[in-house]
């Protein structure tokens, strides 16, 4: 079902010096599936993360946010159980996992970042995770396996790699992500991990993670439901060339943004029930904030999303969503709308040259853009989203029951 | 498909002195269906309305809002075409209809309130409406026919009547409404008309329409999509007893609220694809506004709505939606959640006495309540909504194409 998204070519995924990956089948929710990932990182690795803004954030999010103040030695990620809405006991169980892994690695529990994804409000089976840790410490350096180990309702593992030339030599960037539903990151996606061997000062990495998230994971939405477990973590192991000069940092930022954008878009391409990948751009607004509001109003409207599913150029639904975005003093009679390069709305009414066949042809493609031009300023924003199909309802009406 | 909603019993619908109803088949979009309603009102009738807040409001909304400043003599309502997103030409065509009706009635065009509902961005076939007006002036006094004439994707006509005792005698209240999708009124539902023969001062009626809308039509949501054509109009013909004393006004308000609540709930019961009617209550919040935010966050979450459809007590989705409502400083560890009378969440985690069978039994009913208690104040709010089913997607993927 994924839209224009092939499984990663294992040969194209590059190991990152200073990152060791291992996966295991811990039987957390179902037997015989990879559901546990341990990422060990070299001493001196800089780490920075952004996390869900949901007030019901999960126990591991609370812990990871706190542990990020200390030098990180490993990340431990389980699927099958989100350890969210689990109160104080959830914190205890996540800490038990951190302590067990720290004992294996000879470090402190506060140097471990825990992440969980899966069903909400079930007790975390910490004992099963702890029992499986030794197997996950078997070092494989296999980013594809790592991507597979963090999948839940994903149908395609999501992993991308590239190199970037810095003045001191070539650095590698590899990343994985997961997520297919409950996706409307409010700082990050459900789970995204991007590592580089470049040497990045901690403070610079903290700025980078915000800037990268804002332009990648924070631009996707499937259903407007911000998860309890969203986390996006950048790791820089420092085993490769330095990225501390301004020019190198900029180059690295471009590479990190590139990999993160591919991961974020892969989440939408593999969204629950998605048959269309739609870029929604809003331009000529007064502020980026209002452009984002208008883009999300379209991306979250069930009527717009079902029209995408039907390849129905239902311009009225697009206009109604724009009009609903809550933008003060928006002059509807100035708004233009395009489907790819085709202008379909001019000055708030149907374009005089509108021909439905052309609009239909644009929307029948598995991938297209909707562009609204507000004609009241110079700001712009874009959001990536998908359609609302029978399968979205089917998957979410059947999952967990 | 409608949830606990039977067609009105024609015998229970009461004529309102001073209101004359007539319907016709104008062939606006499809032949052989009632698609035109004219409501004539007696001279001296007080009228007040509330309208959509969508920035793309339809031409008839713009006109009706303006014409309400003058003494109203008739309402003309067509289905099949919303006359929205139609620019200056839309205004002209709606005015042609007003002028034609005014000529028949011997009044001025500004004494006519026009309303349209149906497909957006198509030119209004004014000539067909004008040609059918004489037939719609044939006086029938049939509220059921009137309710039928304003249906679009509704499956059940919506009409309610009751009497209310005032000090000067008994007054009648009858009302009709339509709407099944694009429903999240932001002042009113798509179309609702409630008439009484009581004599109400114009200024009092203007206050009443706001108060009644706030507690009825403004508490429903199907898909969060505020329509371009929402309108709710109160008419008081003054042919019956006076409602000017404070006590009479209060009694009348109770009756108007009662009829309007039944109409608003009927819209949700007949919502596109609905199989469940769900009351979402949020209590013990700091402000009504934050309670409404939390209620709407649940009512608009596709994950919550698909869980309703599946009768799945997926508590995690409820908590995630509450956590996403954007309520500042909400302490998740204080939130309790009930399904009807059953407490399922206590202090942000699963209730220790939780038994899934009980939660399932509550959610399998076609009608139930979700109640979130924030435990941080004394305000409360309620919203009526429905589930998100296969049929919602089917109806909206197929409508218009």
pLDDT in tens, A321-345: 998 898 988 998 999 999 999 999 9
Residue of A nearest to B55 (CA): A323
Catalytic residue among A189, A257, A279, A385: A189
pLDDT at B198 > cutoff 90: yes
- What integer is the mean pLDDT of A224-245? 85
A138-152, A180-194, A236-250, B124-138 — which is least confidently predicted?
A180-194
**Percent of chain A surpassing pLDDT 70:** 96
Q: Indicate yes or no: CB of A55 within 8 angstroms of CB of B330.
A: yes
- What integer is the mean pLDDT of A98-120? 95
Q: Is A52 known to be catalytic?
A: no
pLDDT at B182 > cutoff 80: no
Dist. CA A57–CA A380, nearest whole Å: 31
Are the C-beta atoms of B345 and B319 separated by less than 8 Å? Answer: yes
More confident residue, B56 or B253: B253
Q: In Å, how far is B67's CA from the nearest CA of chain A?
A: 21
A152-162 pLDDT per residue, tens: 878 899 999 99
pLDDT at A60 > cutoff 90: yes
β partners of residue A233: A49, A193
**Percent of chain A surpassing pLDDT 90:** 67
Dist. CA A49–CA B318, nearest whole Å: 26
**What is the pLDDT, as a whole number, of residue A183?**
64
Chain B CB contacts of A393 under 8 Å are 306, 309, 388-390, 392-393
- pLDDT class of B190 with cuts at 50, 70, 90: confident
β partners of residue B245: none
Chain B CB contacts of A56 under 8 Å are 319-320, 322-323, 332, 348
**What is the pLDDT, as a whole number, of residue A15?**
94
Q: What is the pTM of this model?
A: 0.81
**Percent of chain B surpassing pLDDT 70:** 96
- Mention every residue, 6+ apart, whose C-beta is less than 8 A from residue A362: A313, A339, A340, A342, A368
Chain A CB contacts of B57 under 8 Å are 323, 332
**Which one, of A229, A212, A248, A370, lies nearest residue A305 by Cα?**
A370
B347-360 pLDDT per residue, tens: 999 999 999 999 99
**What is the pLDDT, as a whole number, of residue A392?**
84
Q: Indicate yes or no: CB of A85 within 8 angstroms of CB of B348.
A: yes
**Plot region of B68 (φ>0 → left; ψ -120 to 50 → alpha; else → beta):** alpha
Choose the mutation target among A118, A396, A398, A399 for the interface with B, i.e. most B CBs under 10 Å: A396
Q: Indicate yes or no: CB of B332 within 8 angstroms of CB of A55.
A: yes
A290-309 pLDDT per residue, tens: 999 999 999 999 889 999 99
Are the C-beta atoms of B88 and B54 separated by less than 8 Å? Answer: no
**What is the pLDDT, as a whole number, of residue A53?**
77
β partners of residue B47: B235
Q: Indicate yes or no: CB of A390 within 8 angstroms of CB of B392.
A: no
- pLDDT class of B66 with cuts at 50, 70, 90: very high
- pLDDT class of A400 with cuts at 50, 70, 90: low
- pLDDT class of A187 with cuts at 50, 70, 90: very low
B106-149 pLDDT per residue, tens: 999 999 999 999 888 889 999 999 999 999 998 788 999 999 99
CA–CA distances in Å: residue B52 to residues A41, B220, B229, B276: 56, 14, 6, 26
pLDDT at B326 > cutoff 90: no
**What is the pLDDT, as a whole number, of residue B121?**
85
The secondary structure of residue A6, as a DSSP letter, is P
**What is the pLDDT, as a whole number, of residue A399?**
60
- What integer is the mean pLDDT of A141-155? 90
Determine the 3-state secondary structure of B343 from DSSP: strand
Dist. CA B15–CA B138, nearest whole Å: 16
Dist. CA A72–CA A40, nearest whole Å: 9
**What is the pLDDT, as a whole number, of residue A188?**
40
- pLDDT class of B322 with cuts at 50, 70, 90: very high
How many A×B Cβ pairs under 8 Å?
205
Q: Indicate yes or no: CB of A85 within 8 angstroms of CB of B54.
A: no
């Amino acid at each position: 079902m994924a839209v224009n998204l092939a499984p990663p070519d294992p040969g194209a995924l590059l190991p990152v010096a200073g990152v060791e990956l291992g996966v295991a089948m811990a039987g957390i929710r179902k037997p015989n599936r990879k559901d546990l990932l341990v990422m060990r990182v070299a001493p001196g690795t800089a780490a920075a993360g952004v996390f869900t803004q949901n007030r019901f954030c999960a126990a591991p999010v609370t812990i990871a946010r706190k542990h990020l103040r200390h030098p990180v030695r490993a990340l431990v990620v389980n699927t099958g159980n989100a350890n969210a809405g689990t109160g104080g006991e959830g914190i205890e169980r996540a800490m038990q996992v951190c302590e067990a892994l720290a004992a294996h690695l000879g470090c402190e529990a506060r140097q471990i970042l825990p992440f969980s994804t899966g069903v909400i409000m079930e007790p975390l089976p910490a004992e099963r995770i702890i029992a499986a840790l030794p197997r996950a410490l078997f070092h494989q350096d296999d980013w594809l396996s790592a991507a597979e180990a963090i999948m839940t309702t994903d149908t395609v593992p999501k992993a991308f790699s590239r190199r970037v030339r810095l003045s001191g030599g070539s650095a590698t960037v590899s990343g994985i992500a997961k997520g297919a539903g409950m996706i409307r990151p409010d700082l990050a996606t459900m789970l995204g991990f991007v590592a580089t061997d470049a040497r990045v000062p901690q403070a610079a990495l903290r700025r980078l993670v915000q800037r990268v998230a804002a332009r990648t994971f924070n631009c996707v939405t499937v259903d407007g439901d911000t998860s309890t477990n969203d986390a996006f973590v950048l790791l820089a192991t420092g085993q490769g060339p330095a990225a501390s000069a301004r020019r190198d940092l900029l180059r690295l930022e471009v590479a990190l943004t590139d990999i993160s954008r591919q991961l974020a878009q892969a989440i939408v391409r593999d969204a629950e029930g998605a048959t269309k990948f739609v870029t929604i751009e809003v331009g000529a607004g007064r502020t980026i904030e209002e452009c984002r509001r208008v883009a999300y109003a379209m991306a979250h409207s069930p009527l717009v999303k079902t029209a995408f599913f039907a390849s129905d150029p239902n311009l009225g639904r697009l206009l109604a969503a724009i009009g609903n975005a809550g933008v003060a003093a928006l002059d509807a009679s100035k708004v233009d709308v395009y489907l790819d390069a085709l202008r379909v709305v001019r000055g708030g009414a149907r374009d005089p040259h509108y021909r439905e066949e052309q609009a239909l042809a644009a929307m029948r493609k598995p991938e297209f853009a909707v562009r609204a031009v507000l004609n009241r300023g110079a700001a712009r924003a874009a959001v990536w989203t998908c359609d609302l199909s029978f399968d979205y309802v089917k998957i979410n009406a059947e999952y967990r029951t």
